[in-house]
Structure 1
Amino acid sequence: MEDAGGVPGVGGVIDLVKVVGGRLQNNVRSGFAEMTAQQWIRLVIIVGAYMLLRPYLIKLGARSQMHSHEAAEAENEAKAKITPNQLRGQIDIPEDSDDEADEAADATGADWGKKARRRQRDMIKKLLEAEERRLQESKEEEEDKDIEEYLVKE
């Protein structure tokens, strides 16, 4: 039963599966029926040894895998000593030590550094406040989703 393109149809696939299944069943059955006592003893020894050694082989594999993971992790840590996640929440904002009267004064060479530092502090504060607002909003949205699960919609 081939289609127009020469591809076997569904019936051909089913027939193939039946043939393979029948041959497998016949070969396994005759293989066990024709085994001698020596072959049975050999099979029992092999299966028993596998069952006894399997836990130790698994532990050995796990240990070697752990060593390779630790080596890869150490290599990654050597590449990136400080990650962005480690810096999160550790930013110190310097206190305003400059006088407010300096803001009204004209910009001179000496005042420029103070104003730049003040602008930098203000920018850091604004960025931190925006991040805190975003985190607070996402936390509130998660809480709202949790509450919505228990509400009955009609």
Structure 2
Amino acid sequence: MDGIANVVTVLGDRITNNVKGTFANMTAEKWIRLIIIVGAYALLRPYIIKLGGKAQMKKHEEESAEALRGTISPNELRGQKAMVRLPGEDSDSEDDEAQNGESSAADWGKKARKRQRMVIKKLIEAEEDKLRESKEEEEDKDIEEFLLKD
């Protein structure tokens, strides 16, 4: 217990001596420099924060626009297989890396995004299959209708 108290007193003494020594050795030039630096920080800080906010907003808008491009139009679902660009999908290189088993702790976010894209792809394919089957059933009913009239 005495060792901890001794360490605390030594640290306290050193801090007070260093702070006193720093301000005691300040010349007029150093005081002016310190005032200029603190004043510039106080004046420029709001503008820097606004600039950072604008950059963040622009990045957020770009991400939102990219996510909206991944939506499916009804015309794509009615006709051919929908070619949908999923949000965050860049290339097939991630597929190759996942198949080769190359991974690290830094790739965890990539793996989670990849799993999410796979879930979305499966949901889209299931919806396409359901629409395709319903369309085929309607065609079968039309054919049966014509066959029964004869």
Q: Same fold (TM over 0.5)?
A: no
Larger Rg: 1
RCO comparison, higher one (Cα < 8 Å, 6+): 2
Structure whose residues are more often helix by fraction: 2
Q: Name the TM-score, length of structure 2 as normaliser.
A: 0.43
What's the TM-score, normalizing by structure 1?
Answer: 0.42
